[in-house]
Chains A and B, each alone.
Chain A
């Protein structure tokens, strides 16, 4: 059993983390243009356990989001290995990666990334479209997920009719509707005021505790980070804590 590191808040005990869920080994990410080569991530190795809630902090441009995108298989590292639930992901084809993301991962973005042309319920259903489910079952699961984030009464609304906090709750419902084992949240409270931010954080913590979902969250907010099991700090692409 790998011990938890930097568990700084004992008010939120871990939901018994055990084996490794995400393993990053010697990750390096280099962005190249014709003239410049930028090292965005430098030799990062992290183990994240099943059921763990990890936060990543650091100044703007230090590589937090890049790291999260690599964990979410949205971006490929220049060097190093990403293993998720013991599966090496480097060699997977586009369609296998897509299926893998669909099954294992849920994403929450700072700017929500809801599809404004679709109603709330259709937005939440989106990950289920890529599974073999009946329309009725999709509807049931999406309704249930919206219930969990307290938005049952906004199902027929369009995203543009919602407040920032409500939009982020819709995004959370969309991230959890497919019951993924991992949720990757990129500054989920970044665009919200502190009250709304706390509300969103409570939902995530609750999800981690009751469902045992592994959560990785990028944040600028020290208070939020303190509530998680493990905190990683990055500076100029390197892990400093």
Chain B
């Protein structure tokens, strides 16, 4: 029976090539966009090198101060200062380690009188334990070197190649940035630019930064990653941190201090959908918005399919009449039609996977996102196929219902 449905489905698709093209284009285009988008989101939020402990990490990347005024409020937002992050996170008992690093800032260096713009990050010593960098040579600077304010550096493989060229080893050599010489202690494998907490070319001890790391104001240019022993400890750390923050006085100029230890995804959703309130991380809103967007996006090709299928019923009335005359019940015909539709959408799904693969390869090869490899992962494929199934089902139900109401005698007369 299924084989017969399959034959009919393929024959119908071949018969009306233009409609088939429109239907398949609608499905595959929408699914391709979703798959490529998911690949971007997936790459952005899932644990990847060197931030491989993301599922047991919490991030502090936002500090806000607020003052209620008669006609609104005054806000001061930004990253945290080194002092603020270090001072308060060191009071927490649950985290195993706390990585503190600055936002990556651009600076200039010169190779043979040619300017090279590089990203610089200042870090503490735990940074190298929390993030699992792969050292191609040498090692990270240690706590002693940090405390001494030694001019030591870890550089990326890219920087090594562009600064020194193709040489076997650069550990112990010096690199100049912003007119300061740093001795190289290690070279790490490149990090993708989408990895905000880890991507840089030159990593330096926070103590050599030109900014005053002892400044006690809350706002600065640093982020913290709190590493838990296990995923189960995360809620505990959140609670502990929230309690701690509630005891911190925002100072005489401000009414409220807003800072949270969030999961990686929450750091984005809080800023996008959280509305800056104390409690709401915006995560639920994020889920709703993305689901609604995906559904709306999929609704268009579904409606297109419903439309095409409904008009095709008239075209196929002879077949419907014959099948009814020879013993197909309305239920059987509904099933046949839904199966046909699912075959069509699966075909669209397959095309979209091929298209997505090609598009992602083009993006990866274009170096549009440096050192970032976007991939179609298994989860995305599974979701794409579930979507196809739902797609096929939904777009088949209404036309099938219309069809089943067609009387055999009327269906046969129409030809």
**Interface on A for B, CB 8 Å cutoff?**
69, 72, 74-75, 94-95, 97-99, 101-103, 105-107, 109, 111, 113-115, 117-118, 122, 125-127, 129-131, 135, 174, 178
Contacts and interface: CB of A to CB of B under 8 A. Distances in A.
Given A94-B330, A98-B329, 5 more contacts: A74-B408, A101-B324, A101-B327, A113-B322, A117-B12
Contacts of B407: 74-75
A101 B326 contact: yes
Nearest to A68: B409
B17 interface: no
B323 interface: yes
A115 B331 contact: no
B147 interface: no
B1 to A, nearest CB: 6
Contact of A129 (B4, B318, B330, B412): B4
B287 interface: no
Interface string B1-30: 101100110011001000000000000000
A75 B332 contact: no
B8 A74 contact: no
B415 interface: yes
Given A111-B415, A115-B319, A74 B409 contact: yes
B409 A126 contact: no
A111 to B, nearest CB: 6
Contacts of A126: 322-323, 326
Contacts of B408: 74-75
Given A111-B415, A113-B412, A117-B8, A130 B321 contact: no
A122 B8 CA distance: 10
B15 A174 contact: no
Contacts of B326: 101-102, 106-107, 126-127, 130, 174, 178
Interface string B381-408: 0000000000000000000000000011
B8 A99 contact: no
Nearest to A115: B319
A118 B7 contact: yes
Given A113-B415, A115-B8, A94 B329 contact: yes
A137 B15 CA distance: 29
B5 to A, nearest CB: 9
A122 B7 CA distance: 10
Contact of A99 (B321, B329, B409, B415): B329
Contacts of B3: 135
A99 B326 CA distance: 9
B409 to A, nearest CB: 4
B318 to A, nearest CB: 5
Task: Give the 10 A-B residue pairs with the shortest CB-CB distance, closest first.
Answer: A102-B327, A117-B11, A98-B329, A130-B327, A127-B326, A95-B329, A75-B409, A74-B408, A74-B409, A113-B322
A109 B412 contact: yes
25 contacts: A72-B325, A75-B408, A94-B329, A95-B331, A97-B329, A98-B327, A98-B330, A101-B325, A102-B327, A105-B325, A113-B318, A113-B322, A113-B412, A115-B322, A117-B12, A118-B7, A126-B322, A126-B326, A127-B326, A127-B327, A129-B1, A129-B328, A130-B328, A135-B3, A174-B326
Contact of A98 (B15, B332, B409, B415): B332
A122 B323 CA distance: 13
A117 B328 CA distance: 18
Contacts of A111: 415
B81 to A, nearest CB: 72
Contacts of B415: 111, 113
Contacts of A102: 326-327
Nearest to B13: A117
A98 B12 contact: no
Contacts of A130: 326-328, 332
Contacts of B322: 107, 113-115, 126
A128 B302 CA distance: 33
Contacts of B328: 98, 129-130
Given A74-B408, A74-B409, A113 B8 contact: no
A107 B323 CA distance: 11
A109 B325 CA distance: 11
Contacts of A174: 326
Contacts of A113: 318, 321-322, 412, 415
Nearest to A114: B322
A102 B325 CA distance: 8
B317 to A, nearest CB: 10
A111 B321 CA distance: 13
B292 to A, nearest CB: 38
Taking each of B324, B326, B331, B332, which has the highest tally of chain A beta carbons within 10 Å of its own beta carbon? B326
A69 B407 CA distance: 11
A215 B319 CA distance: 23
B325 A74 contact: yes
B325 A107 contact: yes
Contact of B324 (A74, A114, A129, A135): A74
B339 to A, nearest CB: 13
A98 B324 contact: yes
Nearest to B336: A129
Contacts of A98: 324, 327-330, 332
